[in-house]
Structure 1
Amino acid sequence: MELDELKIFQAVLQEDGITRAAQRLHRVQSNVTTRLRQLEEKLGVALFLREGKRLIPTAAAWRLNDYAERLLSLAEEARQAMADDAPSGRLRLGAMESTAAARLAPVLAEYHRRYPAVRLELQTGESRGLTAAVLDGGLDAALVSGPLQDDRLTQSVVAVEEIVLVGGASQGKPSLAELADSTLLAFGSGCSYRQRLELWLRRQGVQPRRIVELGSYHAMLSCVACGMGLALLPRALLDSMPQMAAQVSTHGLPDDLASAPTLLIRRVQTHQPALQALENMLLERGWRGGDSWPNPVNT
């Protein structure tokens, strides 16, 4: 396989056809068609089903797309490393929803001013899924909640978050009986803060009556403020939303659960100037308890 063939294949897949792929690649349609058939012959599988002028991706096409993404990304990384150390090219960053909302905006704005040649793409999600995407090559790096133990990853602590239990504005710290009878509001099971909350409850022998999964912190805080249930959130997120924070109450957790490091993770032995520049900025701006700066820590 040639990298050029993979680029053509991805363009056809992403543009849903030969015509738009040819326009995107500035090639004639016959060249795109020929190179695509050559790739299929090399692989010995059909990547698309032909129905008239329509191309329908096969299961093999989606499998190949995962490898193509990683190979092309690695080739781009190699090109950048051989060219110079100036940040440029594409940087695919993942981040937890809370980090993106409370922390990243000023950092990314400054990053774009400093490094206009970098095309930065941001994807938000839960820590478990973001970590898997870094390991699979779908992301170059991600900001996830620790601790995290995986020898395949390089990790830098860029923030330490204070995690608090959030309830209605007039609600005192809930008793065990109230916790057992409460509705818990959380992201999906891959969310590290949800896992922290469930661990805390298990320690106390509490099984919550109901867990409602929500897709955004704005929705979660609105539901908490209306008395629907309880949630576990970073205090920094509340600080970034003062109007919402005024409508809820916060309650501390045990010391071993109240502090959560935010890690910038990437694959071991990867060198990417654009990512290194971002890591340096995060460490310069690092957060501990909202106001003070953490020492750079590599684990």
Structure 2
Amino acid sequence: MDLQALKIFKAVANEGGIARAANVLNCVQSNVSTRLRQLESRLGIQLFHRRNGRLVITSEGLQLLDYAERILKLADEAQSVVRGGGEPAGKLRIGATEVTVTAHLPRLLASFHRRFPKVEMTIETGSIEQVMKAILADRLDIALLPSRVMTGELAEEEAFDDELLLITDSNHPAVLSTADLKDCSFLAFRQDGFHRARFENWLAGVKPKITLEFSALEVIIACVAAGMGVSLIPRSLIESRNLASLIKCHTLPADIASDPVRIAWRKEIVRHRARDEFIRCLKGH
């Protein structure tokens, strides 16, 4: 199958029209139209419905789009491997939970960008399930997650381990047992089900009074400092933001405190220079 035809088809599908695709591809509209018709003729299927001057992708077109994206990605990988050395360049799509992004990625991304300025990074955040779906759908090149992925389609390994701390307001007494938290509210990132489950497992049946969800670390810290509730936060985040003067930090049992960050990527993408260099940076974090 012609790679250029697949590139044109993918551009039309992504842009939703011939004119916009031609602009993205920096070629004339007639060339895009001709190559698209030739591809449809060769395959014997209709890839787009033509409706009132608009192109709407067909179900067969959606199937081909999935393969086209993977084929083009593998072609880029093959070219990179054959060429060998040189500085990593191109796109690197990174997915992570909100906590991981906030706690670990800012310094990592800055360091990686200084070393490899030609790599264009994009970050997608979401719950563990959302990030997993995105990497399985090939919308991400690498994912950073706080738990094992448990699927044969992905390769994974641990990048580094952080320590979770229980944070309370400065006047909160020492937490000697889980019973001391039975009347507390738990403050969590909106999509962070992992740390919330870790907290509830630690309480072993002593449910928090209520779980409140927030989308920003600063809001969680401010609410904890004001005595609104407690939360679990990685030590590295507290230290990097100098938050110890605003809140009180309590150590946790080792099995609860361990906060590993794992990396995952699609097994069939054996080589991806930007991704591989990013993994090396992660391991040195």
TM-score, normalized by length of structure 1?
A: 0.79
Unaligned runs of 5+ in 1: 287-299
Selected match of 1:192 from 188, 191, 194 = 194
Q: Deviations over 1:192-238 (max 9, x none)?
A: 3223223223xx21233332332232232233223332222111111
Distance 2:100 2:197 in 1: 17
Q: Distance in 1 between matches of 2:100 and 2:186?
A: 21
1:219 is matched by which residue type in structure 2? Answer: V
Instruction: In structure 1, give the amino acid aligned to 2:28.
Output: V
String of CA shifts for 1:143-202, please: whole Å, max 9, x gaps.
Answer: 22135544443333322110112222322355656634333222356643223223223x
Describe how 1:78-89 pairs up with structure 2 within 5 A.
78-86=78-86, 87-89=88-90
Residues 49 and 56 in structure 2, CA contact (< 8 A), matched pair in contact too: yes
**Aligned ranges for residues 13-162 of structure 1 at < 5 Å?**
13-40=13-40, 42=43, 44-51=45-52, 53-57=53-57, 64-86=64-86, 87-162=88-163
Moved more, 230-239 or 185-194: 185-194
Aligned positions, number: 281
Percent of matched pairs sharing the same residue: 38
Q: CA deviation at 1:62?
A: 5.2
Matched letter for residue 80 of structure 2: Q
Deviation of 1:101 (Å): 2.8
- 8 Å CA contact 1:85–1:273 kept in 2: the answer is no
Query: Whole-Å Cα distance in 2 between the matches of residues 67 and 209 of structure 1?
Result: 49
Q: How much does 1:262 deviate?
A: 1.2
Separation (CA, whole Å) in 1 of partners of 2:139 and 2:232: 28
Aligned-partner Cα distance in 1 for 2:256–2:272: 34
The question of 1:264 aligning with 2:263 is answered yes
Provide the rounded CA distance (Å) in 1 between the counterparts of 2:68 and 2:192: 26
Q: After the TM superposition, which segments of 4 or more aligned residues of structure 1 sit over 6 Å from their partners?
A: none
User: Residues 128 and 190 of structure 1 are in contact (CA less than 8 Å); yes or no, is this contact kept in structure 2?
Assistant: no
**2:184 alignment partner in structure 1:** 182
SS of the residue 2:228 aligns to = coil
- Pairwise CA distance, 1:64: 4.8
| Matched residue SS, 1:44 | coil
Check whether the contact 1:186–1:212 (CA below 8 A) recurs between aligned residues. yes
Native 8 Å contact 2:98 2:191 kept in 1: no
**What's 2:210 paired with?**
210
Q: What RMSD in Å do the two structures reach over aligned CA positions?
A: 2.9
- Give 3-state SS (helix, strand or coil) of 2:205's partner: coil
Unaligned runs of 5+ residues in structure 2 are none
Contact 2:92–2:121 (CA<8 Å) still a contact in 1? yes
Q: Distance in 2 between matches of 1:70 and 1:265?
A: 17
Q: Relative to structure 2, which stretch is displaced further, 57-66 or 112-121? A: 57-66
Contact preservation (8 Å) 1:147, 1:261:
no
Residues 20-78 of structure 1 deviation map (CA, whole Å, 9 limit, x = unaligned): 22111112112223333444553634534522x33345566555544433332222112
Given residue 71 of structure 1, which amino acid in structure 2 is its aligned partner? I
**Residue type matched to 2:241 in 1?**
M
Tell me how far apart the structure 2 counterparts of residues 226 and 37 of structure 1 sit (CA, whole Å): 64
How far apart are the structure 2 equivalents of 1:25 and 1:178? 62
Q: Is the 8 A contact 2:149 2:264 kept in 1?
A: no
Report the AA paired with residue 230 of structure 1.
V
**Separation (CA, whole Å) in 2 of partners of 1:256 and 1:131:** 24
Indicate conservation of the 8 Å contact 1:48/1:61, yes or no. Answer: no
Other-structure match for 2:276: 276
Give the secondary-structure state (helix, strand or coil) at the position aligned to 1:108.
helix
- Residue 83 of structure 1 aligns with an amino acid whose one-letter code is R
Q: Is the 8 A contact 1:128 1:191 kept in 2?
A: no
One-letter code of the match for 2:263? L
